[in-house]
Structures are given as structure tokens and as C-alpha cells.
């Protein structure tokens, strides 16, 4: 068993699939070719947690998952198979649970305020020292809650339904109205949070409070058990959740590398455009969203961009470009859910400039306008400026680019304020400035950029604009329509040179759609005319089901989702309804999580129900879907083989070794049928032929993973693009022992008459296709012969 994974398999652990359940599947994973089980967060989380990112106790392994004894059994089973484990680490935040007493550190701060030994754990603005910690949990304003006796005192605990809060010592006997004002916390209506919250949180989730990993004591306490398991050999590395939320991501990773001896660590970092991971981060790379974009893009035809844009505008009335949609959504986030964070930045700026007579005439209102514009136009998740160090060139470029865009929306006076703010954020302004305050400003601004990007783009704009929904993916770009083989090869070459041990992926617990849904949707880019005709037919046949309240965007999202999840029939109604409800609330156009419009939501649900039970409409969808089966097959198998054999450590998300047509969480956390997978693999290993696309995907997955295990030097070696005479093939060699060939854009290929005499140039020697057993010689090999049985080939030197 190697400490650096050859391939990982992501488990979504929870009470219903615990450590013992994972242990039972280990022999199957070993047979599949996996080297490391990749575990979702394993520490004790809030009651009922379905994901584990809401940790309440860092000193215990999850009790619902079986606790330490069950984890030891999982470790032993992995060791028997010479496998290891990687754990997902939630370093940025902890849960504000219900009841609140479950989080010992938080309970202490609520009771003792700034005097608590845990007060430095949390990023709280105590104001002048006596501003209470805002707990926005009340269903109504505090006056009505008090009037209706919804609060009660039980000894030294204040209760509000299932919530409980400690009383500040000495206040137990006070009258209730006086008592609630004398605590180190302020109970408030839940709507107050976005405007007055005074602790840093994860994005806009009040129940996830950020912790300060830059403090040694906090790092030690929150990592002690995880480091203990690593040094015992029961963990071999970590996946770090949301490092951009930390005050000092590089410093955190350096401390982690020092404490682990340089263990394999990947970070959940979204890279925008040509952005690269900072080279001075001591880690193996990212969790693979950047690879997902390039691999998926290989199977999207750029020629489909314009006609699909025209159809999208026709059906939805949306703008032709995605940019205005992003700007509008980010502006809403800055004005609403991130208002408290923006306000804190403004107060910092005001305090800094008040202390310097040269800067004193810039007003809070000016600062607010400038900060808002910078956040709206900042187009990466973070600029890595470290207080006290010169800003790196990439950070300077990112901030100046945002400032240039912001300048267009500001008058001359505000532009002068913008210049001051920019200099402060880049660490350039000096003189009488409070250095601690400026350092806080630099860090806090960067910690705010990520939430604005995530909530504005991923969780709003992606649900408003979908020329092709497969491109609306975490780490993706809806305007990056297709990736050429040359672009993919250039990316892979750079990856192999600088980040050869990074993770690659196609599906995660955070992806908006599984890899196979995206593969299905990608084929639409090759035949936009046929898709347009099909959608118009379906709309005509479903006209009687369409209420005037149903907007074009939601309807078009439904049709794409219906086709993308089609599996010999429509997606189960319960799953479709759950997805649509989440999608329209995330879009925040006609309804939202905080202000749901029941009439509109019922309109959408009624339309979906009617279509899913209309056999005439479904038969029309079936005809179109059947026509795409061959193209879908090529894209499904092609992107999987490419991801498994390109540079990096491939991850297989639970269950996706078969065709998996899942949507955004919680749909992608449904139970996995491992009995079916074990039986399918056993039959294939016994020489059985694939019966369906799921069998073929399992064949490709298992053979590619086993080849990685058999030829580790090849995959640790070079990446060489192979010449082809046809752009519908992508081919590359790993080391001198393994070759990948995949079909891309098969519908367009068929229109051109197929492969004809197209060739791929193979290195010298004899080669065997491990997917079919066929052998081929050196030199220019005919692609049609290589891909006679499957649209992909995996060759090894024979």
C-alpha cells in the first residue's frame, strides 16, 4: 500500500452507511482497482447530519457512523487489502448546533463572552468589548416572542423550543426581559442575520461558524485526532474543505505539512479561467474541478454554442451573454446575504482612515459603494495577499482587474476612494495606518470574495442561465463552450509537470449534475437543430399542462433535466420535484428559500407532474433519447477513460462506476446498490460480455484502475499527446506502457461519414487493448479498427 493514492473512491458516510458498511465494500473496491477509500468528514457532527460538514466535536469520531470501534474495523479491513484511507477535513468552520450545548467551545463563548478560553476560536466582532454575539434563531421578532412566553429559564439555561443557551453567571434571577439583554449573546429574529451578524460564517449559513485556524491552539485542538490517525497509519492524507475561507491558507497548509511529514493533501479550490494553484502551497493539488471542466469540455462541440444560445434566448428571454447575469446575481448577494460582511469591511476601512488625516475625508457610504463594486467585479475566489508581504503578481492583476471594472460604475469622487481601498488591499498604503487593522482588512476582504462568488455564481446565476446545463458546473464556466484536444493536451502537460499528484474527478458530492447526466447533455451541442425541434414538439404536446405563471427559464430547465436524466424512462417524480424545488429557490426569481412563493412552486410542481404522467409527451421524449443512445455511449465512456488515465490521482465518486444519473445534493447522496455492482464485476471478470452501458462503464473503470495499479511508473511518468489524423479522436500515452484513445463528438463524426481511413500514430512495439483483448502493431493504426467494439481503447505494451 502506497501513501500517495493511485486512485480513490469517495464514500458519503452517514448513519445509514457507516464505517462498517464501508468496510464491507472494501474487497470490491480492491477488485475495482482502488488504492484508497476517500471518506467524507468522519468527526462528530450535529444531530441528524447527512453530510458531516457541521462538526461539533473534534475529539470524537462520528458516533452515528459507529465511532472509534467501527472506524478501527474499517482500517483493519483496508489494511488486509493493502489499501489506505483519505479523510475530508472541515477546517474552516464548526456547527452552531441545536441544541447549542453540543458544541463545547461555542457554549463556553455564549456563557462567558470574550472571557471564555475559547473566545479566540471564533471570528467575532465584539465591538467595544460588550457587543453580544448575535444568535438569529427566533421565528418572530423578540418582542412578540417575549409577549407570547416562548422563552423560558431552566436553572442556568435559557430555552427557546429546541434551542438552549447558557446564562451569564449572576443573571439567573433577573426578570426575563432584563435577563435576555444581559447575556453575551443576543437572541434575534432570523432575518436579522444577513444585516447584523457579527461572527464570520461559512458563506451565508448561520449555523456554520468560522474558526480561526491561524491560531496554533485552534489548529492543535481541531486536528489532534486526525493527526493521531494519520501517524498511526489509519489515514494517509486529507482533502481540505474550503481553504479559501481561512485567514492564511498557505500558512495552514505549511503547518499541516510540517505536522504530517508532507502527507498527500489536496484542497477544494475552484480555479477560474487560466488561474493556477499558488505554487508555494505545500499540497498535491486540487480536488479536481479544473480537470472536470477540461475533460467534460472535450465532449462538447463549440459549433453548438450559437444555435443553442438562440434557442435559449427564444424560450427564456435571457440575455445572450452570461456576464450580465453573473453581475446581477453577485450584486444581489452583496446587497442581501453578505450585507453584514460588507458592513464589517466598511467599518474597518472607516476606522483605518479615521486614524490618518490624509484619508479622513472618505465616507462610510463611499467605502460601501466601492467595496460592493469590487466584490461584484472580482472574478476569482480569492487573491492571495499576505499581510506584511509584497502582493504576488497574480493578486495584483486580479484586484486591479476588478478595480478597472468597478471604476466604470463610480463617479470621480468615488474613484478616488477606490484608489485608497485598492492600495490598502494590496498593502501599499503606509504612514500612520494601524497595521493590525490593515492586516485584518486584507484578510477579511479575501474571505468575503469567495462567498460572493459561490453564492452569486454557483448558487444563483447557474440556476438562471442555462444555454447548456452541463456547463453550469462547480468550477465550470457556461461560456467556455467546448475544449479542443490541443487545449486538453496543453492542460494535461502542465498538470503532469507541476501537479502530477493532484486529484481528478468527474462527479463529487458538490457537483450540480453527475458525470453521466452531463455526458448526455453534452451531445446536444453536436445537434442543436434536432434538439430545438424536439423541445418545440414537447412544448406543443404539453401546452395544456402549462400555466401562464410558469416562466420559460424554469420550463427549459425542466426539459434539459428530463433528457439528461432519461434512463429508459423519466426520472422518478419525487426526485424531479425535489430538484426543481431546489433549482427555482436557488434562482431566487419567483421564489426563494427565505421568501417562498407557494403558488409559483405549486405551478412548477403541477407542470412536472402532468408531463411525467403524459404518455404522449414521454413517447416523444423516448424517441429522441433513443436516437442519442450511441452518442451518449461514446461520451459516457470517453470522458471516464480520459479522466482515469490522464495526469493526477483519479477519484471515483460512490456508485459512478456504473451509469449514474444523479442531480445536485441531496439527490447524489442516495444509497448505492453495491450488491449489483459486485455481481456485475464478477460476471465481467469471468469473461462475460457487457450487457449494457453500465457494464461497459464498469469494464472501462475497472480495467483502467487496474492498469494504473499494474503500471505505476507509467502513470508517474510522462504524458505524451499522440498524433491523430482526425480531430474526433483524442489520444495520449502515459510513460512508455499505456495508451488511451477516445471518441469525441460522435454525432458530428457520423455526419462526416465516420472514421474512414483516419489513423492514430502509436509508439513502436506491440499493443494490446485490455478492454477487448485485441492486439495492434506499431505506427499508424486505423482508428476504426481500434474502436471496432467500443468507442474507446486502452492499450498496454504486450
Task: Tell me the per-residue pLDDT of 752-798, one tens digit each, with 9 for 90 and over.
Answer: 999 999 999 999 999 999 999 999 988 899 999 999 999 999 999 98
Averaged confidence pLDDT in the chain: 96
C-alpha to C-alpha distance for 783 and 773, rounded to whole angstroms: 16
Same fold, 8-92+213-287 and 100-210: no
**Phi, psi (5° rounding) for residue 132?**
-70, 155
Q: Is 186 helix (H, G, I), strand (E, B) or coil?
A: strand
- Segment 589-603 shows an average pLDDT of 96
Is 406 in contact with 377 (CB distance < 8 Å)?
A: yes
What backbone torsions phi and psi does residue 400 show, to the nearest 5 degrees?
-70, -35
Residue pLDDT, tens place only, 534-580: 999 999 999 999 999 999 999 999 999 999 999 999 999 999 999 99
pLDDT at 56: 97
Does the domain formed by 100-210 have CATH 1.10.101.10?
no
CA distance 327 to 57: 39
Q: What angle (nearest 5°) sits at the alpha carbon of residue 543, between those of residues 539 and 544?
A: 150
Q: Residue 231: enclosing H or E segment and its boundaries?
A: helix 216-231
The string of pLDDT tens digits covering residues 708-734 is 999 999 999 999 999 999 999 999 999
Q: From CA 782, how far away is CA 776, in angstroms rounded?
A: 10
Neighbours of 572 (CB within 10 A): 11
**Contact present, 41 and 51 (Cβ < 8 Å):** yes
Domain 8-92+213-287 CATH assignment equals 3.20.20.80: yes
How confident is the model over 248-292, as pLDDT tens digits?
999 999 999 999 999 999 999 999 989 999 999 999 999 999 999
Query: Per-residue pLDDT for 431 more than 70?
Result: no
CA 485/CA 655 separation, integer angstroms = 28
Given a cut of 70, whether residue 435 has pLDDT beyond it is yes
Kindly state the greatest CA–CA separation across the chain.
90
**What number of CA atoms fall less than 13 Å from residue 681's CA on the CB side?**
23
Please state, in angstroms and as integers, the Cα–Cα distance from residue 283 to each residue in 261, 266, 468, following that order.
Answer: 12, 6, 34
Question: 737, 718 in Cβ contact below 8 A?
Answer: no
Which pLDDT score, from 0 to 100, does residue 609 have?
Answer: 98
**Residue 1: pLDDT over 70:** no
pTM: 0.96
C-alpha cell at 466: 442555462
pLDDT over 60 (residue 2): no
The pLDDT-based confidence of 370 (bands split at 50, 70, 90) is: very high
- Total residue length of the chain: 798
Candidate from 59-73, 88-102, 423-437, 609-623 with smallest mean pLDDT: 423-437
Residue spans per domain, the chain: 8-92+213-287, 100-210, 325-440
Q: Are 165 and 135 contacting, i.e. CB atoms less than 8 angstroms apart?
A: yes
Rounded Cα distance, 608 and 546, in Å: 9
With 0-12 / 13-18 / 19 or more C-beta atoms within 10 angstroms meaning exposed / middle / buried, residue 549 is middle
pLDDT at 709: 97
Amino acid at each position: 500500500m502506497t501513501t500517495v493514492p493511485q486512485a480513490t473512491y469517495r464514500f458519503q458516510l452517514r448513519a445509514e452507511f457507516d464505517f462498517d458498511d464501508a468496510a464491507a465494500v472494501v474487497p470490491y473496491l480492491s477488485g475495482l482497482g482502488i488504492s484508497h477509500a476517500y471518506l467524507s468528514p468522519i468527526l462528530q457532527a450535529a444531530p441528524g447530519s447527512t453530510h458531516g460538514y457541521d462538526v461539533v466535536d473534534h475529539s470524537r469520531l462520528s458516533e452515528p457512523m459507529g465511532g472509534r470501534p467501527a472506524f478501527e474495523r474499517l482500517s483493519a479491513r483496508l489494511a488486509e487489502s493493502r489499501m489506505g484511507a483519505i479523510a475530508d477535513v472541515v477546517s474552516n468552520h464548526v456547527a452552531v448546533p441545536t441544541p447549542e450545548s453540543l458544541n463545547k467551545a461555542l457554549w463556553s463563548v455564549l456563557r462567558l463572552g470574550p472571557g471564555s478560553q475559547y473566545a479566540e476560536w471564533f471570528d467575532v466582532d465584539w465591538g467595544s468589548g460588550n457587543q453580544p454575539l448575535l444568535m438569529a434563531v427566533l421565528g418572530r421578532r423578540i418582542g412578540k416572542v417575549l409577549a407570547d412566553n416562548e422563552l423560558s429559564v431552566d436553572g442556568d439555561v435559557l430555552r427557546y423550543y429546541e434551542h438552549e443557551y447558557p446564562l451569564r453567571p449572576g443573571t439567573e434571577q433577573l426578570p426575563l426581559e432584563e435577563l435576555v439583554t444581559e447575556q453575551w449573546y443576543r437572541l434575534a429574529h432570523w432575518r436579522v442575520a444577513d444585516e447584523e451578524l457579527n461572527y464570520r460564517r461559512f458563506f451565508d449559513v448561520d449555523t456554520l461558524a468560522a474558526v480561526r485556524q491561524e491560531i496554533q491552539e485552534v489548529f492543535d485542538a481541531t486536528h489532534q485526532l486526525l493527526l493521531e490517525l494519520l501517524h498511526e497509519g489509519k489515514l494517509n492524507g486529507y482533502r481540505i474543505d474550503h481553504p479559501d475561507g481561512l485567514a492564511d491558507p498557505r500558512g495552514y497548509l505549511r503547518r499541516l505539512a510540517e505536522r504530517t511529514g508532507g502527507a498527500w493533501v489536496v484542497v477544494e479550490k475552484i480555479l477560474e479561467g487560466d488561474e493556477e494553484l499558488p505554487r508555494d502551497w505545500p499540497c498535491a493539488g486540487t480536488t479536481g474541478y479544473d480537470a472536470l471542466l477540461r475533460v467534460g469540455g472535450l465532449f462538447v462541440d463549440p459549433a453548438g454554442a450559437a444555435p443553442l444560445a438562440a434557442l435559449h434566448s427564444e424560450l427564456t428571454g435571457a440575455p445572450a451573454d452570461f456576464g450580465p447575469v453573473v453581475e446581477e446575481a453577485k450584486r444581489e448577494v452583496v446587497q442581501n446575504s453578505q450585507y453584514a460582511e460588507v458592513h464589517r469591511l466598511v467599518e474597518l476601512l472607516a476606522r483605518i482612515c479615521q486614524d490618518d488625516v490624509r484619508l479622513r475625508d472618505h465616507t462610510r457610504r463611499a467605502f460601501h459603494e466601492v467595496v460592493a463594486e469590487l466584490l461584484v467585479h472580482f472574478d476569482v475566489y480569492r487573491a492571495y495577499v499576505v499581510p506584511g508581504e509584497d502582493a504576488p503578481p497574480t493578486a495584483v492583476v486580479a484586484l486591479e482587474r476588478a478595480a478597472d471594472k468597478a471604476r466604470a460604475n463610480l463617479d470621480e469622487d468615488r474613484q478616488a476612494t477606490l484608489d485608497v481601498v485598492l492600495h490598502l488591499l494590496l498593502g501599499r498604503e503606509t504612514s500612520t495606518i494601524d497595521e493590525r487593522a490593515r492586516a485584518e482588512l486584507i484578510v477579511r476582504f479575501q474571505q468575503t470574495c469567495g462567498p460572493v462568488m459561490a453564492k452569486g455564481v454557483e448558487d444563483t446565476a447557474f440556476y438562471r442561465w442555462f444555454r447548456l446545463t452541463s456547463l453550469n458546473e462547480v468550477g465550470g464556466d457556461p461560456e467556455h463552450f467546448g475544449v479542443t484536444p490541443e487545449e486538453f493536451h496543453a492542460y494535461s502537460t502542465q498538470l503532469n509537470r507541476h501537479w502530477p499528484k493532484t486529484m481528478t474527478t468527474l462527479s463529487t458530492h458538490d457537483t450540480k449534475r453527475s458525470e453521466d447526466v452531463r455526458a448526455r447533455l453534452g451531445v446536444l451541442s453536436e445537434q442543436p437543430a434536432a434538439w430545438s425541434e424536439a423541445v418545440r414538439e414537447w412544448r406543443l404536446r404539453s401546452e395544456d399542462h402549462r400555466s401562464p405563471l410558469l416562466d420559460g427559464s424554469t420550463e427549459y430547465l425542466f426539459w434539459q433535466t428530463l433528457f439528461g436524466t432519461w434512463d429508459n424512462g423519466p426520472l422518478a417524480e419525487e426526485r424531479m420535484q425535489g430538484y426543481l424545488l431546489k433549482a427555482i429557490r436557488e434562482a431566487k426569481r419567483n421564489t426563494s428559500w427565505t421568501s417562498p412563493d407557494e403558488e409559483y412552486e405549486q405551478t412548477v410542481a403541477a407542470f412536472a407532474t402532468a408531463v411525467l404522467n403524459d404518455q404522449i409527451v414521454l413517447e416523444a421524449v423516448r424517441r429522441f433519447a433513443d436516437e442519442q443512445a450511441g452518442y451518449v455511449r461514446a461520451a459516457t465512456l470517453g470522458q471516464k477513460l480520459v479522466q482515469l488515465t490522464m495526469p493526477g490521482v483519479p477519484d471515483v465518486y460512490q456508485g459512478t462506476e456504473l451509469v449514474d444519473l444523479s442531480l445536485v445534493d441531496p439527490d447524489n447522496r442516495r444509497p448505492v446498490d453495491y450488491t449489483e455492482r459486485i455481481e456485475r464485476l464478477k460476471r465481467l471478470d469471468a469473461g462475460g460480455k457487457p450487457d449494457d452501458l453500465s457494464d461497459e462503464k464498469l469494464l472501462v473503470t475497472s480495467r483502467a484502475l487496474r492498469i494504473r495499479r499494474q503500471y505505476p511508473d507509467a502513470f508517474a511518468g510522462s504524458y505524451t499527446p499522440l498524433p491523430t489524423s482526425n480531430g474526433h479522436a483524442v489520444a495520449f500515452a502515459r510513460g512508455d506502457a499505456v495508451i488511451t484513445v477516445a471518441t469525441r463528438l460522435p454525432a458530428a463524426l457520423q455526419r462526416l461519414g465516420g472514421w474512414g481511413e483516419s489513423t492514430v500514430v502509436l509508439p513502436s512495439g506491440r499493443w494490446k487493448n485490455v478492454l477487448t483483448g485485441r492486439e495492434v502493431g506499431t505506427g499508424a493504426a486505423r482508428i476504426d479498427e481500434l474502436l471496432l467494439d467500443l468507442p474507446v481503447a486502452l492499450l498496454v505494451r504486450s
